[in-house]
Amino acid sequence: MIEGRATARYVRTSAQKAGLVLDLIRGQNVDLALSTLRFARKRIAKDIEKVLRSAVANAQQKDGASGDADRMFVASCYADQGPSQKRIRPAPMGRAFRIQKRTAHLTVHVAERPQIVAPVPSRSATSGDESDDGATEEAKTTIRSRAGKSSASTSAAAKATATTETAPTSGAESTADTAAQTKSVAKESD
């Protein structure tokens, strides 16, 4: 499998700002990631594009120049904090405020997308219980029994709704009567 990695260190931006752009390309094909970076309206996108191109070149060099960039994708990309440069900004009344000029380390990993091959199910020619549709007799029996249970519960529910529709609806007594009738119908169906 073809893999490549590239890192740009001490890039003059914050790791948070770089992370916003890196989130856009994570998991994308290399061609789509390059076009995304080309049209991104962030200053750091140009630096990330350089790192991505370097990672692809590293992967092709490692593989012996046979690696195809069309099959590669951005496997992972992240921005770590670098050292901050401390500067001083003059403030009122002779004071000074500190400014941090942040840096970041950009890392991009590219890899060849694995080809997924679906396993082909093998059919057994020796099973004699199978009919034309491929189901065994045991499976057909199970399906029939499940269908019978579901129709019984459906008829019990229909009886319960019929009894609740005919029952008088006056106060708490009718609610208790309706609940009792529903329970008795459910017990009969079991």
pLDDT for 164-176, tens place per residue? 555 455 555 556 6
Is pLDDT at 155 greater than 80 in this prediction? no
CA distance 24 to 36: 8
Task: Compute the mean pLDDT over every residue in the chain, rounded to the nearest whole number.
Answer: 80
The predicted model gives 63-85 an average pLDDT of: 87
Query: Residues 5-48: pLDDT tens digits?
Result: 999 999 999 999 999 999 999 999 999 999 999 999 999 999 99
Q: Tell me the chain's radius of gyration from C-alpha atoms.
A: 34
Looking at residue 117, what is its pLDDT? 77
Distance CA(40)–CA(22), nearest Å, equals 11
Mean pLDDT, range 112-136, rounded to an integer: 67
Structural domain spans, the chain: 3-112, 137-189
State mean pLDDT over 78-102. 97
CATH 3.90.470.10 fits 3-112, yes or no: yes
Strand partners, 4: 110
Torsion angles phi and psi, residue 121, rounded to 5 = -70, 135
More confident residue, 144 or 123: 123
Q: Is pLDDT at 160 greater than 60 in this prediction?
A: no
Write the pLDDT tens digit of every residue in 119-128: 877 776 555 5
Segment 123-141 shows an average pLDDT of 58
pLDDT for residue 134 is more than 70:
no
Is the pTM value of this prediction over 0.75?
no
